[in-house]
Amino acid sequence: MFWLKTKIIEGEGSLKTLSEEVRGYERVLILASNSMKRHGFLSEAEDYVREAGTEVFSIAGLPAEPSVETVEELLPKLREEFQPDLLVALGGGSVIDTTKALKVFYDAPELNFEEIAFIDRFSKPKPVPKLRTPLIAVPSTSGAGSEVSAASVLKKGGIKYNIVTPDIAPDVAILDPRLPRTMPPEVARNSGLDVLVHGIEAYTTNVAGPFSDAMAIRAIKTVYRWLPLSVRGDEDARARVHYAATMAGIAFLNARLGLCHAMSHKAAWIGPHGLLNAILLPYVMEFNANKSEYARKRYAEIARELGFKTAKDLIEVVKELNEMLSVPSLGELVDEETFMEKLDEMAEKAYRDGLVAFNPVEPKPEEIRELYLKAFYGE
């Protein structure tokens, strides 16, 4: 099975299609990052909405980390002040995830957060009812895939909760490469590496299928070929990686992700999401390849697409790309004492993460602990 709810509009200057997309709606609310305001894309978007004869409101400066607190703070404004009949998220994955969660509680005020959120793979949340307010996502970074995915990850009291329902997948995604060209090199690197991890993990889960494979492979090949140039600011490379990010999002919307993401989510306190994934990926691949013939076969298939042969080759390719892009070890991001204090808890939580169920190998908590240690010392 393969599905995609989101209509995708891509191309230079495609932000202007917002005019057509909002036609017929009365009150549009745009939620934007500070960076999109600073670079003028928020006011450009507001103009396009006005051109359609639609009233427009905006909230800029959403925090970099989506949290339940932010959603609770903004909800009364949506209900009493703006009362939008269409939402637009303009920014990185965090802005899009926050907007998705806002949509849930705006449309279904009777819900309470704890009862619909996945805390780990053993929790059984209540299903989210049908939601009404449409959502347009305009990503400004090239990584998270949130513009097509059916999930929103939110933090509450140090714990990451996951809301998953097809109803929060955006109705439209506008991919205008001018936006990700504003990313600083480090953000381009970290988010681009996340795309590679999405592709490789989605290709190797136990629910991967031919259509998700096609999206995953194209995303992997694009990152491998174009990410180094994109990091250096090449305009064409930025556009290619931007589209690849959404392709990888479509792959994992269907095929899900695996142990690397389970581990990076629990290590989120150490550094940026994409960077953590890039650090962990070769260790997780080695682990999977050692234990599963299926994983070895799938890694080898990816290797051949890139002009290599075996699973081992692919692991080398990943390590070399990390080296070329100066990806550090975990030990360079956090001091040993702090890391060791949290290690057991991280391993236990990663073991309980929902994504472990899709990994080609079911790991034991001790094995996850070992992988964290290897990534810490850069072995």
First to last CA, the chain: 39
- List 172's β-bridge partners, or say none: 7, 136
159: helix, strand or coil? strand
Locate tokens 């298939």: which residue? 301
Map residues 193-232 to x or -, x wherever contact with Fe ion holds by CB under 5 A: -x--------------------------------------
Q: Please provide residue 257's backbone torsions phi and psi, each rounded to the nearest 5 degrees.
A: -130, -170
Does residue 120 belong to the site contacting Fe ion (CB under 5 A)? no
What residue number has its CB nearest to Fe ion? 194
By CB under 5 A, which span of 29-37, 152-160, 187-195, 304-312 interacts with Fe ion? Answer: 187-195
Residue 257 Cβ, how far from Fe ion at the closest point, in Å? 7
In contact, 252 and 164? CB cutoff 8 Å: no
**Eight-class DSSP state of 133:** S
By CB under 5 A, tell whether 147 contacts Fe ion: no
The Cα–Cα gap between 344 and 336 comes to 14
Q: Which is nearer to Fe ion, 58 or 146 (CB)?
A: 146
DSSP result, 181-194: GGS-HHHHHHHHHH
Shortest distance in whole angstroms from residue 57 CB to Fe ion: 31
Q: Which stretch binds Fe ion (CB under 5 A): 39-47, 188-196, 223-231, 322-330?
A: 188-196
Q: Which is nearer to Fe ion, 194 or 213 (CB)?
A: 194
Task: Considering only the stretches 16-24, 64-72, 168-176, 189-197, report the one whose residues sit in contact with Fe ion under the rule CB under 5 A.
Answer: 189-197
Which residues are bridge partners to 118 per DSSP? Answer: 162
The CB-of-149 to Fe ion minimum distance in angstroms stands at 10
Amino acid of residue 189? R
Spatial separation of the C-alpha atoms in residues 283 and 266, rounded to whole Å: 16
Which 283-302 positions form the footprint of Fe ion (CB under 5 A)? none
d(CA 328, CA 355): 25
Count of residues binding Fe ion (CB under 5 A)? 1
Nearer Cβ to Fe ion (33/54):
33
Positions in the binding site for Fe ion (CB under 5 A): 194
